Every structure is written in structure tokens, then in C-alpha cells.
Amino acid sequence: MERWSSTGAFLLAAIGSAVGIGNIWRFSTVLGQNGGGAYLIPYIIAVFVFAMPLMILEITLGEKFRGTIVSAFRRINPRFVVIGWFLCVIVVLILSYYLVITGWTLGYTVLTLATDAPLFSEFSNSLLPIAFFVIATLVTGLVVSFGVNRGIERISIILIPACVLILLILAAYGTLLPGFYQGLTYMFTPDFSVLADPLLWGAAFGQAFFSLSVGMGILLTYGTYMKSGQHIPRFTLIISLADLFVAFLAGLVIFPIVFTFGLSPTAGAELAFTSLPIAFAQMPAGKVVAVAFFAVLFFAAITSTISMMEVGVAALRESLGWSRVKTTIAVTGGILLLGLPSAMSYSSLALKLDGIKILDFMDETVGTLGLPVSALLFSVTFAWYLPRETLESALGGEDGIARWIIPLCRYVIPGVLIMTTIARIASGLGITNTYLLPGTRYIGLLWQLEGITAIVVISLVLIITACRLRGCNLRKRLGFGSRK
Ligand code: PHE
């Protein structure tokens, strides 16, 4: 079995998964929309009390079980294999549209380098978003096909330090801008009145789980490539702190520019692709800053897409017994097909479903609801159905952190996930900060439910047809029959 070549390589790959476009503009947008500094209180609680325990559980299970997300569920009960595959489908669907946005970041890097920053209205009215989506998907597939050492860790070791370095330089540049102090004040002035709002807490939890890529089997998969006997809680602390650090740093880059050029601080994705390019055009050395900014976005995004693809590739490879390269080609092809409608919706083809852009639709369905649902399934299955002794011994004995992690994952995390998801669905409606792309429109509850159902049905039909065409025994292939 493949293994990380060092602890540092594992950490950088895990940080690469966590640090993504979520840190660069989603965090600052959510912070700005929710009372600035005061938002940090629920966010830090969400990270350290809720997301981190689940992360410890995830990595530990990966390291102990040495399997994929599917075989981990199968270990508990062969029937739970369905949940494992369901989680894979959710990850792959999120990946399919996350790659579209990754494509935009690559497109903006290349176009800014070649000419001037494009207007988003022009960019999204061409076929370029589709082309860059295809390139981003192929790059992700290529890296994954090279494997854990030569692919995933090598790219993370280069891109993550590069991201931090570029952000540090950009933040230093930001201190020279006249809007620096205003930006700083905006980010850190607390408005404690917002703490009474339950939706704010919901937003903080959503952001924490999303930003740390926790509850979807990604860290479990990365954990399987770890050497045994490592201090996992310390690693999760490092990953969480690094994720937080990059989010702050990105805020320190974005807000001084926003206030110097009179842009709207809460515009989210629109800010990155519409307003900031206008500011870059007016800044001294603006072209360099623009290229660096979009390159950081692309680097951050691509290390996240790689981690998502690895979940699907590892699971499929294990159950079909294919080589890594063959499985990666199949998964890359599947994702190209799945993501194409989302890519086309923000292109001159303007693909829509009843007036809703497909990418907005995906963000509203799998993006908004998929993550809490999968984190819920994950914590409930492992914390409730795995024998307590197994859990305790995996977590280093009954007296250690198991005392905290087990009750948190059994009662508190599922409770909070259920409550915040219900609150989010019920109140709805315009809470833009729960989306991957702040600013996408709310498409309506009925549409969301129908959308989720349609997506699940389509995925199942696809899997079954593909299997039938190959003449394989689906039950056995998916692991219902056999225990590995
Ligand atoms: N954590 C990534 C980000 O902040 C996004 C992500 C979510 C990656 C879920 C993998 C899984 O952008």
C-alpha cells in the first residue's frame, strides 16, 4: 500500500485539501456579513470543538482501518457500504462543480498574464469557462494518476508553501494601501449583538466543516497513507491552525484593496471575479498583483480538487481491482461529463434549468446540503455503530481524548448538524453565506429536494448501467457480498 514519504508530506497534503477557495473569499465574505470580529467567536468554537474532533476520528479511522471510505463503512456492517458509496457520490458531485470554479481561477490567471483582466460578463459569455474546466479536470486527474508520492504530495509540497508566500507578499503590499486600516477595522471590530442569532452559528458551523474538508471521507482516505503510531490530535491542530491562518491572510489581502477602491466587501465570488480585477487595473504593479492573486486561488483550489478525486479513485480502485491509472482515467471521464452542465451554465451556452444556472443549482443542492448530511452520516455511523472498545483503542485508550471525542461525535455534533441544517432549510432562504459561491440565488426548497432526489437517482442509474454494461455482478463488486 502507498504511504506518505514523511509526516510533513501528509500535513501539506491535508492542508492542501483544507485550504481552498473557501478560505480565500468565502471566509472573508462570511466574516464581513456576520459582524466582523464577533463572528470569530462562533467560528473558533466551531473549528475547535466540533470540526476538530470529527477530524481526529476521521484520520484515526483511516490510519487504523487502512481502507477507503467504502471499506471503512463495510467494516462496521456490510450493509453500510451503501452509505460509503453515497458519500463518494456527494464528494464527486461537489468536485464536478468545484472544478468549474477552479477553471475560472486558472482562466483568470492565464488571461491576466496574457492580456488584461477580463470582465466576468465577457468571460462567462464565451466558451472559455468550459475549456478551462476541462483543463482543470485533466490537471487534477493527471496529478492523481501519479499516485500519493509522485503526484499528490509532490504538488502539495510545492503549491501550499507557494500559496502562503504569495499571500504574505500580497498582504505586505496591502499595508501600503490607504484602505489598510479600514480593512483591518472591518475584519476585527466585533459586533457582539450578532451572537444571539442562531443562523450566525449555523453559518459558522457550515463554514468550519467546509473549510476543513471534514466529514466527507477525504481525511480518512489521506489517513490510510499514514505511518502507524503518530500523534493525530497534534496533526489536526496544525491543519486547523494553518487553515485559519490562510483565511486571515486572505482577508488581509482582500479588504485593504476593497476599501482603497470603494468596492463592496460582502460581494463574495463576484468580488473576486468582477470587482477586484477593476481595482487591480488601477493599482501600481496591478498586473503582477492580479496574476499572483488568481494563481493563489488556483493553487489553493487544485490541491482541494485533487483530494476530492482521490476519495473516488481510491474507493473505485479498491472495489474493481483496477490500476491507479485506469481508475483515474475512468473517474476523470465521469467528472468531465458530470461537470459539463455546470461549466456550460456560466458560458455563452448559458445552460439553465427552469431559469436557474446549473452551477447555482448544484451549489444549492449538493453544495449546501451534501456536506452536513455526509458529516452527519459519518459521525453517527462511526460513533454509534463501531464497538466502543474499538473506538477507544483506536483513539489511544479510554482515558485519553476518547473521553471527549466519543460523546462529542455521538451526541453533540449530530445534534448541531441536524439543528443547523433544519434551521437553514426552514428559514432559508436568502442566507447567501451558506453557499460555496456567496451570492448565488436561492432556488426554493422544493427545487432543492427534487434536485437532491434527481441527483441521487441519476447517480445510481449511472453506476448500475456502467456495471451492467461491463457484465459485472454489482452486489459483489460493490462489496455487499464479500468482506475484504
Ligand atoms: N476545504 C475546501 C475549501 O476551503 C473545500 C473542500 C470542501 C474541499 C470539501 C474538499 C471537500 O475550499
Closest residue by Cα to atom 11, ligand 1, is: 213
More confident residue, 160 or 398: 160
**What's the 438 CA to ligand 1 centre distance in angstroms?**
15
Mean pLDDT of the chain: 86
pLDDT at residue 332 greater than cutoff 60: yes
Report pLDDT digits (tens) over 119-153. Answer: 888 898 999 999 999 999 999 999 999 999 999 99
Pocket test for ligand 1, best of 211, 220, 371 (most atoms within 8 A of CB): 211
Full DSSP string of 173-237: HHHTSTTHHHHHHHHH-B-GGGGG-HHHHHHHHHHHHHHTT-SSSHHHHHHTTSPSS--HHHHHH
Which atom belonging to ligand 1 lies closest to the Cα atom of 18? Answer: 1
Percentage above 70 pLDDT, the chain: 88
Q: Ligand 1 centroid to 211 CA: how many Å?
A: 5
Give the confidence band of 352 by pLDDT, cuts at 50, 70, 90: confident
Atom of ligand 1 nearest to the CA of 371: 9
Residue-level pLDDT at 207: 83
Contacts (Cβ under 8 Å, ≥6 apart) of 62: 72, 219, 220, 221, 222, 223, 224, 226
What digits encode the pLDDT tens for the residues 435-452? 555 445 555 666 667 776
Q: Which tens digit of pLDDT belongs to each residue from 233-278?
A: 999 999 999 999 999 999 999 999 989 998 887 766 677 888 888 8
Q: In angstroms, what is the span from residue 52 Cα to ligand 1's centroid?
A: 15
Q: How many angstroms is it from 280 CA to the middle of ligand 1?
A: 27
Q: What is the pLDDT of residues 2-34, one digit of tens each?
A: 999 999 999 999 999 999 988 887 787 778 777
Atom 6 of ligand 1, residue of closest alpha carbon:
213
Secondary-structure percent of the chain, ordered helix, strand, coil, rounded to 5? 80, 0, 20
Ligand 1, residue 300: give the atom nearest the CA: 12
Average pLDDT estimate for 386-398? 82
Nearest-CA residue for atom 9 of ligand 1: 213
Most ligand 1 atoms within 8 A of CB, residue of 88, 98, 306, 373 to mutate? 98
Atom of ligand 1 nearest to the CA of 301: 12
CA of 388 to the centre of ligand 1 (A): 30
Model pLDDT, residue 88 = 92
Contacts for 262-265: CB closer than 8 Å, 24+ residues apart? 265/28, 265/29, 265/32, 265/186
Q: How far is CA 447 from CA 338, 353, 371, 444, 462, in A?
A: 19, 10, 18, 5, 22
User: Model confidence over 157-205: pLDDT tens digits?
Assistant: 999 999 999 999 999 999 999 999 999 988 888 778 878 877 778 778 8
Q: Are 76 and 383 in contact (CB under 8 A)?
A: no
Give the pocket of ligand 1 (CB within 6 Å): 17-18, 20-23, 210-211, 213, 216, 218, 304, 307-308
The three-class DSSP label of residue 367 is: helix
List phi, psi (to 5°) of 6. -160, 170
What spacing in Å lies between the alpha carbon of 295 and ligand 1's midpoint?
17
Question: Which residue, judged by its Cα, is nearest atom 10 of ligand 1?
Answer: 213
What pLDDT does 484 receive? 42
Give the pLDDT of residue 284: 87
Identify the burial level of 34 via C-beta atoms within 10 angstroms of its C-beta, where 0-12 means exposed, 13-18 middle and 19 or more buried: buried
Task: Report the atom number in ligand 1 closest to the C-alpha of 21.
Answer: 12
Separation of CA 195 and ligand 1 centre (Å): 26
Higher pLDDT, 85 or 422: 85
**How many A from CA of 37 to the centre of ligand 1?**
23
Average pLDDT over residues 308-326: 95
pLDDT value at position 462? 66
Question: Coil, strand or helix: which one is 348?
Answer: coil
For the CA of 23, the nearest atom of ligand 1: 4
**pLDDT the model gives residue 52:** 93
Task: Give the Cα separation of 439 and 171 in Å (integer).
Answer: 25
Higher pLDDT, 155 or 34: 155
